[in-house]
Amino acid sequence: MASDVNARVMSSFLDYLRIEKGLAPLTVSAYTTDLGQFAEFLGPRKRVFTSATRQDVRDFIQQLFANSVDSRSVGRKLSALRHLYRHLLIDEKINHDPTLNIDSPRQWKVLPKSLAHDEIESTLASPRAVNDSRLAAALAARDHAMLEVFYAGALRVSEIVGAKLEDLKLEMGYLLVRGKGDKERIVPLGKSAQQALAEYLREARGVLAAGKSSPVLFLARGAHALTRQRVWQMVRAASAASGRTASPHMLRHSCGYALINRGTDVRTVQQYMGHASISNTVIYTRLDAARFNRLWKD
């Protein structure tokens, strides 16, 4: 069985560390934990230590990052694997070291978390009035419009909080966004976002303004500006319907993935999202084809 093969390999390697290398018990214990995690990762792939590939090692590291393991811990686990495979290579148990040419964890870009297509649909449809009052209906319409704009425009929290009424060109279907470094970009809005915005402006913004004036597009009650914290709370509450706990940035990342998956070239996506460096955009191309299909199939 695979578990028996891995157990024998680990036992031999750990004995080597203790006896020949004279490593401290705590270090040996850390190696045991790290290698055990890799063995568990290989299990569903029907592989053992001696049959693991370079892609297995890369996928293992990517999974660690996706689970928010810090780079120092990832580096330690990669070091454990390097030592294991160097030992197996010298011992002629393998012909190739799968850890060769694996980048240092500090050089890795973590794949941003995103929502699947059905999770996006559920989140966008979520805001509902909590009662029959005009204020509750206005808040629900505002939240729905904000979610649609978040996703359609791949906006940051600061960009949606700072959006001005004059920046919206609804009849032309776009929003002028001021991003990092006060750089401006034009963000096209899809039909759903335009409809949600039209309803918000027609039915809700005046209710929230309560007779007061404000240059801000999305208002809190009494014409006050929304806080970043309130926007995060709203997105978390809306995403609960999908079974996920999402953040505003997850909506932004979901848009980035969707644009790439629909064949939009990287330079266009860079401009769309307001990335200063294209390296921040290229990361959206790193999803493998299987995950793309799983996330975005209709």
**Residues known to be catalytic:** 156, 180, 249, 252, 275, 284
CB 10 within 8 A of CB 39: yes
Cα–Cα distances (Å) from 30 to 1, 60, 180, in that order, read 25, 17, 42
Closest to 154 (Cα-Cα) out of 197, 189, 106, 130: 189
- 98: phi then psi, degrees, rounded to nearest 5: -70, -5
Name the token pair of 7: 């157990």
CB 75 within 8 A of CB 104: yes
Distance CA 60, CA 77 (A): 10
Helix or strand or coil: residue 131?
A: coil
- 162: phi then psi, degrees, rounded to nearest 5: -90, 0
Task: Name the H helices within 67-133.
Answer: 71-90, 117-124
